[in-house]
Amino acid sequence: MTARGQIDIDAIKAQLDLVEVVRNYVPSLKKQGREWKGLCPFHAEDSASFHVIPRKGYVHCFGCGAHEDVVGFIRRITGCTFVEACEQLTGQKFAAAREGVRRADPAPLAGTWVPLIAVPESAPDLMASNGWTVPIWNPKSGKLRAMKPARKDEYRDADGRLLGYVLRADITDRETGKVKKWTPTVTWCVGPDGKRQWCLQHFLEPRPLCGLDDLAARPDAPVLIVEGEKCRAAGAGAWAQYVVLCWPGGSNGIGKVDWSPLKGRDVTLWPDADDAGVKAMLGWSNDAGDCRPGVASYAHRAGARSIRLIDTEGRPKGWDIADSLDVDGWTPRQLAAWAAERVVDVTVMRG
Ligand SMILES: [Zn+2]
């Protein structure tokens, strides 16, 4: 960094080995003559068209056209800013320059991105081969961002057509250093100019439940509703007699979901073992007459045949069906035996 608080980009580039930097993200990289070649991290492909050209100081993909120098490569693959990329590459802090860049940031682009009702076969895979997503457009920030999610859960309609994904990534807050759970919805969208790409964009409302294909395939099976995709996967694996469903968007999203597929079903709700979990399932009201319906109310309105609840009171705070299997090490048989003792009828709140 110079005395004026500027980042000397040429000095940074001169210190770095481009191949070493890229190799951290492109393990398939192999030497070929004076260049290096590997699977592109920015688009899904089976044969390598991503070139690293050290003597020229850039990477180039002949498949998707990605063309970046070392800082651009880091920005694009991590979704970070220019200054952050320089900090990551050098291990130095450029706080003064960061201020300047923040002020110079353009306003977020406005633009309407609308999810297509089902993802067409022609859409590229969301995931690259290295555990990272392809770059995803964030309409709010007007930036592309790739991420390495810890989970990726598919949402499909009753006919099995892919509607989109809910990802789960653990994000470290730059200011506080705290790790936060982030569960963005990713859908295949069409933009204002007709362009199509993966976007950080919610499903159209009313939003789909997760597990609709399984529900449609088993019209007589009882339904278990849990909170979150992780619990849905755990429940579906352990409790085969149920169709296990969850909904997108957390407790604030309950009213935006299409609950009508629950018509005629026997529904059992498994709340997370805390106040928020029970409120999500049963709704709440206060003396002032404020109320918010929970999943039980929506299931009732949708015409569910019966609605029951597994009473998780007394379990550790926040405990859920995934914890019973992963943390407590219960077998599916133990899980079923415990739950059978805890099933209670639900009085549906009028909302
Ligand atoms: Zn590419």
Same domain membership, residue 216 and residue 341:
yes
3-16 tens-digit pLDDT: 345 778 888 888 88
Looking at the structure, do residues 223 and 315 belong to the same domain, yes or no? yes
pLDDT band at 1 (very low <50, low <70, confident <90, very high): very low
Tell me how crowded residue 210 is: count the other CB atoms within 10 A of its CB.
25
Q: How far is the CA of 49 from the centre of ligand 1 (A)?
A: 7
Judgement on whether residues 15 and 122 belong to the same structural domain of the protein: no
Does residue 205 lie in a domain region?
no
**Amino acid found at 236:** A
What tokens appear for 174 in the block?
């730059």
Residue type, 191: G
Q: How far is the CA of 67 from the centre of ligand 1 (A)?
A: 9
Stretch 233-262: mean pLDDT: 95
| 18 pLDDT more than 70 | yes
Mean pLDDT over 103-125 rounds to 68
Residue 278 tokens, joined: 């029970």
* 31 plus 79 within the same structural domain: yes
Domain boundary among 175, 200, 225: 200
Q: What one-character DSSP code corresponds to residue 41? A: S
Does the residue 3 lie in any domain?
A: no
Q: Are 249 and 124 contained in the same domain?
A: no
Q: For the segment 40-70, what is each residue's pLDDT rounded down to a tens digit?
A: 988 888 899 999 999 989 999 888 888 999 9
Residues 262 and 301 in one domain: yes
Q: Do 54 and 149 reside in the same domain of the chain?
A: no
What is the mean predicted confidence (pLDDT) over 153-166? 96
Rounded-to-integer distance, Cα 351 and Cα 344, Å: 21
What is residue 210's predicted lDDT score, i.e. its pLDDT? 98
Give me ligand 1 centre to Cα 32, in Å: 18
Ligand 1 centroid from CA 187, angstroms? 20
In a domain, 21, yes or no: yes
pLDDT at 26: 87
- Compute, in angstroms, the gap from residue 145 CA to the centroid of ligand 1: 15
pLDDT digits (tens, 9 = 90+) for 205-230: 899 999 999 999 999 999 999 999 99
User: Which residues are within 5 Å of ligand 1 (an ion), measured at CB?
Assistant: 40, 42-43, 61, 63-64, 66
The CA distance from 25 to 5, in Å, is 30
**Residue 109 domain-assigned (yes or no):** no
Please say which residue of 59, 85, 104 terminates a domain: 104
**What is the per-residue pLDDT for 153?**
97
Residue 350's pLDDT is 56
The contacts of residue 295 (CB under 8 Å, 6+ apart) are: 225, 247, 254, 259, 269, 280, 281, 282
Dihedral of CA atoms 2, 7, 13, 14 in degrees, nearest 10, equals 0
How many whole angstroms from 194 Cα to the centroid of ligand 1?
21
Domain total of the chain:
3
Is there a single domain that holds both residue 124 and residue 99?
no
| Mean pLDDT of the chain, nearest integer | 88
CATH code for the domain in which residue 239 is found: 3.40.1360.10
Residue 222's nearest CA partner among 246, 243, 238, 193 is: 243
Cα(134)–Cα(137) distance, rounded to whole angstroms?
10
User: Looking at residue 20, which CATH number applies to its domain?
Assistant: 3.90.580.10
The pLDDT of residue 97 is above 60: no
* pLDDT band at residue 32 under the 50/70/90 scheme: very high
Q: Residue 47 domain-assigned?
A: yes
CA–centroid distance, 25 to ligand 1, in Å, is 13
Range of the domain at 173: 114-200
- Is there a single domain that holds both residue 140 and residue 89? no
Regarding whether 185 and 150 lie in a shared domain, the answer is yes
Work out the pLDDT band at 107, boundaries 50, 70, 90. very low
Q: What's the Rg (C-alpha) of the chain?
A: 24
Domain boundary among 180, 200, 220: 200
Distance of CA 24 from the midpoint of ligand 1 (Å): 17
- Check whether residue 181 and residue 221 sit in a common domain: no
In a domain, 128, yes or no: yes
